[in-house]
Amino acid sequence: MNLEDINKLLDKLDQMNFSEVEIEIDKTKIHVKKATGEAPVGPTGKPVKQEQPFSDSVISSPMVGVVHLEKQLKVGQKVAVGDVVAQIESMKLFNDVTSSQAGVVSQLYVKDGDPVEFHQSLIALTKDNKHV
């Protein structure tokens, strides 16, 4: 990929609806995170606190509901692929949230029992070999 290709790709990506993406084409790896013009505004019109932890991946809620974190889940804890890290209660049903990555919990964005929306960040993970 040359610089022109990358520029074209970035233009294309700019028109698409996402906030962060990682793409690998012919050994060129691009990580794009979009700047969100203004700070998101919360229900009361006040800016929502932006969470910018050190993380390699974020586990987000697959649905609207109430989050129930696994009891033993703490910052610094190791998580394996497929581990259940939380449950989302929706219409009295409990839905498992599993980790698609192995890593170490670096931050919990939510408290047990918090209401959550679709794709709300729940847990940040860093890669196993890094310091937390």
Partner 1 sequence: MFRKVLIANRGEIAVRIISACQKLGIATVAVYSEADREALFVKQADESVCIGPAAAVNSYLNREAILMAGINTNADAVHPGYGFLSEDALFAQMCEECGMTWIGPQASLIHDFSDKTNSRALAQKRGLPIIPGSGMITSEPQLYAKANAIGYPVLLKASHGGGGKGIRLVHSAKELFEKYQLVKEEAGSSFLDGTIYLERAFEKARHIEVQVLGMPDQLLILGDRDCSLQKNRQKIIEESNAAILTKKERTTLYKLVHQLLDRSNYQSLGTVEFLFVHHHFYFLEMNTRLQVEHGVTEETSGIDIVQAQIRVAANEKPVVHQIEFTGHAIECRLNAETNVAKQQFETGRLTQFDLPTDVRVDTGLQNGDEITPFYDRLLAKIIVYAKTREAAIKKMQIVLSDVKVTGIGTNLSQLKQLINSTQFAENHYNIHSVGKLMEAGSHESYA
> Which residues in this chain contact partner 1 in the complex, by CB under 8 A?
17, 41, 43-44, 63-66, 90-91, 115-120
14, two tokens? 């700019």
Q: Which is nearer to partner 1, 116 or 124 (CB)?
A: 116
Q: Which is nearer to partner 1, 13 or 63 (CB)?
A: 63
Q: Which is nearer to partner 1, 49 or 131 (CB)?
A: 49
93, two tokens? 């049903």
Residue 53 CB, nearest approach to partner 1 (Å): 20
Q: Contact 124/102 with Cβ under 8 angstroms?
A: no
Q: Contact 72/64 with Cβ under 8 angstroms?
A: no
CA-angle at 53, arms to 44 and 94, nearest 5°: 70
Residue 115 CB, nearest approach to partner 1 (Å): 3
Residue 37 CB, nearest approach to partner 1 (Å): 9
Q: Which is nearer to partner 1, 105 or 116 (CB)?
A: 116
Distance CA 118, CA 56 (A): 20
CA-angle at 36, arms to 33 and 40, nearest 5°: 130
Residue 92 CB, nearest approach to partner 1 (Å): 10
